[in-house]
């Protein structure tokens, strides 16, 4: 994968994963990929995250990125773990400069027109709309997207299986981020992933 737009178009839903035990990472990735969700975002919310990224990358077909990257130290750490893309909850100049300069696919979080304009200044046109529901939901994203015709989005935060089709029906949305897919047995995860993979359009 060479660019974030291609990665975003690979799966209708990107599972947002909080991994507490790295031993569970590979089986979880296998279940998600088997269900049709190849793009996996491992959030840096636990000490196991970096090891989990490395474990998930062992699964054929998995495209494994790091989420909740908030500073350059974390960026350097996830690069050592061979993360294939980076997701941040917001857009800061120092972090964005470092990631853009590296060439790694990058999906920064935005919630305002000013955020998007700062991203455009950096040459970015793909963004994570976060937190999606509490930032005004689909109505807000449609209003934000109107003046920025060149931009595409991955809404994340409060997205559910029930609301995903409505988000995906908006042509500026390439995918959504969701956490409802995980939990339960690996067979249950695979089944939920299969449903999620079929939600586009």
- Has residue 195 got a pLDDT over 60? yes
Q: Are residues 9 and 131 in contact, defined by beta-carbon separation less than 8 angstroms? A: no
Catalytic residue among 41, 55, 84, 190: 41
Catalytic residue among 57, 84, 128, 192: 128
Could you give the percent of the chain with pLDDT greater than 90?
98
Q: Are residues 167 and 159 in contact, defined by beta-carbon separation less than 8 angstroms? A: yes
The reply to whether 30 belongs to the active site is: no
For the segment 25-71, what is each residue's pLDDT rounded down to a tens digit? 999 999 999 999 999 999 999 999 999 999 999 999 999 999 999 99
CA dihedral (198, 162, 126, 179) in degrees, to 10, reads -90
Per-chain mean pLDDT for the chain: 96
User: β-strand 63-67 against 39-43: which pairing, if any?
Assistant: parallel
Structure tokens at 42: 């491992």
Q: Are residues 187 and 31 in contact, defined by beta-carbon separation less than 8 angstroms? A: yes
- Which uninterrupted H or E stretch holds 57? none
Residue among 161, 101, 113 at smallest CA distance from 140: 113
The reply to whether 192 belongs to the active site is: no
* CA 93 and chain centroid, separation: 20
Is residue 200 very low, low, confident or very high in pLDDT (cuts 50, 70, 90)?
Answer: confident
Is residue 201 very low, low, confident or very high in pLDDT (cuts 50, 70, 90)?
Answer: low
CA 72 to CA 99: how far, in whole Å? 8
């Amino acid at each position: 994968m060479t660019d974030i737009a291609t990665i975003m178009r690979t799966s209708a839903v990107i599972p947002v994963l909080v991994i507490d035990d790295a031993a569970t990472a590979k089986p979880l990735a296998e279940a998600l990929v088997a269900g049709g969700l190849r793009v996996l975002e491992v959030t840096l919310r636990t000490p196991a995250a970096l090891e989990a990224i490395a474990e998930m990358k062992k699964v054929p077909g998995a495209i494994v990125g790091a989420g909740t990257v908030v500073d350059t130290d974390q960026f350097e750490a996830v690069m050592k773990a061979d993360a294939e893309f980076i997701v941040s909850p917001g857009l800061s100049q120092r972090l964005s400069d470092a990631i853009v300069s590296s060439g790694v696919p990058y999906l920064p979080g935005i919630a305002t027109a000013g955020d998007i304009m700062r991203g455009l200044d950096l040459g970015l046109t793909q963004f994570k709309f976060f937190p999606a529901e509490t930032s005004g939901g689909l109505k807000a994203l449609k209003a934000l997207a109107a003046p920025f015709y060149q931009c595409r989005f991955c809404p994340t935060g409060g997205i559910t299986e029930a609301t995903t089709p409505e988000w995906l029906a908006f042509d500026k949305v390439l995918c959504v981020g969701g956490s409802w897919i995980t939990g339960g047995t690996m067979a249950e995860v695979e089944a939920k992933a299969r449903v999620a993979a079929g939600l586009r359009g």
